[in-house]
């Protein structure tokens, strides 16, 4: 398999395309976004990920990676396009239970349709996007088969990389490879073998889909459990962070960390794909999603209590991405906190050294020192290294040194004279 066409040049597709191009393949990277194509043509890399810029530049310079707005004939096609959720009205219109979002498969469908005119006998098509169970068999394979081309190989190989460690994990992680038949799975294994050093675990396509969803749902449900304990701890006068540390000394307990909610393109989204497949069988998964989605409102309640009595308080929101040390704000609970604070009439300052631009509605992004200088209350929403390193001197810049810490970023680092430090999940 020499010629590979990768559709979707985002967090998953771009590193994959560059990796294949630097491991002996001729790769065409395809994206429908003019902005993405222009930046890549100008030698800029729009995804901020350790080592990616030099890998992409090397691949482009060698000529083994080319960029285009549409696919060309190839030996294998990899689809790595977004699979977001559609909420509320549209989901209801599609028959989902009240308040349950459903998968928006329109990007996957249009990528599969774009491949069809270029298919040739023996081609391999791999869907890497995360999808609801049966999508490969019931949605993607039928589109490809309508081409009438014989002997097509089709597989679902979910991507499991962790943003921040994408390049290392692309190579080192084990891969679940789900073929619609054995030959498809084996062909996909052969393709990944050019750069994957982890184990290759062959199965069928629907199992591979469910495995990926189970992994993220497992994390979501366990974060919801930690969040529920955080709320209980606040009520009964316990510090949940200490309690979790102690509980985790049990050899068979591994509690996750509470926080202001769950975000990102995966964990906050993928459990809904399981619910979509079986709404009547998934009360636990649905409740966990709602517990996590309820945390931003809880953070706002902590702010409201902390600034009661302050006239026209100014709130600095420190950290807008969904997790530490990345630039990704998709589904970020921090943005939800910001929206809710604004809706309550607070003056809110947005601050995140990793984020370059925000929609206008969130206001101008401010440097940390300016946000602190203007604030009566700082809410830590993402525990970026920059915020974990905040010192008492930094907080003394504030109009009133009051910190609400939803990530346990500063615990034990501030004395009472330095700042009032209120920790989410602590009833102390
Ligand atoms: N980001 C992650 O860490 C991660 C990890 C594992 C799995 N996934 C899954 O991988 C998939 C891709 O996620 P991502 O984070 O790379 O998304 P992304 O939004 O970063 O990138 C997707 C790219 O696809 C392009 N695109 C959309 N429709 C297209 C089409 N028809 N043809 C060609 N390009 C098209 C978009 O313009 C965009 O540049 C999703 O299903 C996601 O759930 C993501």
| pLDDT tens digits for range 50-84 | 899 999 999 999 999 999 999 999 999 999 999 99
> Which residues, 6+ apart, have CB-to-CB distance to 5 below 8 Å?
27, 28, 30, 71, 72, 74, 76, 77, 78, 115, 118
The mean-pLDDT minimum among 138-147, 159-168, 246-255, 294-303 falls in 159-168
Is 408 a residue of the active site? Answer: no
For 381, the token pair is: 């929403």
User: What is the chain's mean pLDDT, rounded?
Assistant: 94
Is 212 a residue of the active site? Answer: yes
Whether the CB of 76 sits within 6 Å of ligand 1: no
Catalytic residue, candidates 157, 266, 317, 351: 266
Which phi and psi (to 5°) does residue 58 adopt?
-65, -40
> Is the model's pLDDT at 132 over the cut of 90?
yes
Phi-psi region of 181 (alpha: psi -120 to 50; beta: other; left: phi over 0): beta
pLDDT for the residue numbered 43 = 87
Q: What's the CA gap between 167 and 88, in Å, rounded?
A: 36
Q: Is 28 in contact with 102 (CB distance < 8 Å)?
A: no
Q: Is 31 in contact with 107 (CB distance < 8 Å)?
A: no
Give the mean model confidence (pLDDT) for residues 349-372: 94
How buried is residue 418: exposed, middle or buried, by Cβ count under 10 Å (0-12/13-18/19+)? middle
Per DSSP, what are the bridge partners of residue 86? 102
Whether the CB of 266 sits within 6 Å of ligand 1: yes
Q: What's the CA gap between 288 and 217, in Å, rounded?
A: 9
Q: Tokens 């043509």 — which residue?
A: 41
> Is the model's pLDDT at 1 over the cut of 70?
no
Which residue is closest in CA terms to ligand 1's atom 25?
8
pLDDT for the residue numbered 145 = 96
Helix (H) / strand (E) element for 76: namely strand 76-79
> Which residues, 6+ apart, have CB-to-CB distance to 186 below 8 Å?
179, 202
Which residue is closest in CA terms to ligand 1's atom 35?
8
pLDDT tens figures, 381-398 = 999 999 999 998 899 899
Q: What's the CA gap between 389 and 405, in Å, rounded?
A: 13
> Is the model's pLDDT at 265 over the cut of 90?
no
| C-alpha distances out from residue 123 to 8, 151, 158, 185, Å | 19, 7, 19, 13
Q: Using most ligand atoms within 8 A of CB, pick from 10, 135, 161, 331 the residue to mutate for ligand 1.
A: 10
Is 409 strand, coil or helix? Answer: coil
The mean-pLDDT minimum among 97-106, 205-214, 270-279, 281-290 falls in 97-106
Q: Which of 375, 371, 313, 366 is nearest to 344 (CA)?
A: 313
pLDDT tens figures, 77-118 = 999 999 999 876 666 666 666 668 999 999 999 999 999 999
Domains of the chain (ranges plus CATH)? 3-205 (3.40.50.720), 295-423 (3.40.50.720)
Starting at the edge strand found earlier in the chain, the sheet holding 420-423 runs: 347-351, 314-318, 377-380, 402-405, 420-423
pLDDT for the residue numbered 122 = 97
Whether the CB of 205 sits within 6 Å of ligand 1: no
C-alpha 301 – ligand 1 centre gap (Å): 35
Catalytic residue, candidates 157, 212, 377, 408: 212
Q: Using most ligand atoms within 8 A of CB, pick from 35, 46, 81, 161 the residue to mutate for ligand 1.
A: 81
pLDDT for the residue numbered 94 = 65
> Is the model's pLDDT at 379 over the cut of 70?
yes
pLDDT for the residue numbered 152 = 98
DSSP 8-state symbol, 360: G
């Amino acid at each position: 398999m020499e010629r590979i066409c990768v559709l979707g040049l985002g967090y998953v597709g771009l590193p994959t395309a560059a990796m294949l191009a630097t491991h002996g393949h001729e790769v065409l990277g395809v994206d429908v976004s003019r902005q993405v194509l222009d930046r890549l043509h100008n030698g800029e890399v729009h995804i901020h990920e350790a080592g990616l810029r030099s890998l992409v530049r090397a691949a482009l310079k060698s000529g083994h990676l080319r960029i285009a707005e549409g696919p060309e004939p190839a030996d294998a096609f990899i689809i790595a396009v977004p699979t977001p959720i559609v909420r509320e009205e549209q989901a209801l219109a599609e028959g989902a239970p009240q308040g349950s979002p459903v998968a928006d498969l329109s990007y996957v469908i249009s990528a599969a349709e774009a491949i069809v005119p270029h298919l040739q006998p023996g081609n391999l098509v791999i869907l890497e996007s995360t999808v609801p169970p049966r999508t490969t068999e019931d949605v993607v394979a039928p589109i490809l088969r309508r081409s009438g081309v014989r002997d097509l190989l089709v597989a679902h190989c979910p991507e499991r990389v962790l943003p921040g460690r994408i390049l290392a994990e692309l190579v080192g992680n084990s891969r679940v490879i789900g073929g619609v038949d054995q030959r498809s799975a084996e062909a996909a294994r052969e393709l990944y073998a050019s750069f994957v050093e982890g184990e290759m675990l062959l199965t069928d396509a629907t199992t591979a889909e469910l495995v990926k969803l189970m992994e993220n749902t497992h994390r979501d449900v366990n974060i919801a459990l930690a969040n529920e304990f955080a709320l209980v701890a606040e009520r009964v006068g316990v510090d949940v962070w200490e309690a979790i540390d102690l509980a985790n000394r049990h050899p068979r307990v591994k509690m996750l960390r509470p926080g202001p909610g769950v975000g990102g393109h995966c964990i906050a989204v993928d459990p809904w794909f399981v619910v979509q497949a079986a709404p009547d069988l998934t009360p636990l998964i649905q409740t966990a999603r709602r517990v996590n989605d309820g945390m931003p409102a809880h953070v706002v309640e902590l702010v409201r209590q902390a600034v009661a009595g302050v006239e026209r308080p100014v709130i600095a929101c420190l950290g807008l991405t969904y997790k530490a040390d990345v630039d990704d704000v998709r589904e970020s609970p921090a943005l939800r906190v910001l929206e809710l604070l604004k809706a309550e009439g607070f003056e809110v300052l947005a601050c995140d050294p990793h984020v370059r631009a925000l929609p206008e509605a969130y206001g101008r992004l401010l440097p940390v020192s300016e946000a602190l200088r203007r604030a009566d209350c700082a809410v830590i929403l993402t525990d970026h290294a920059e915020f974990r390193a905040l010192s008492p001197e930094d907080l003394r810049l504030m109009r009133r040194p009051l910190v609400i810490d939803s990530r346990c970023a500063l615990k034990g680092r501030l004395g009472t004279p330095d700042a009032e430090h209120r920790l989410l999940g602590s009833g102390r």
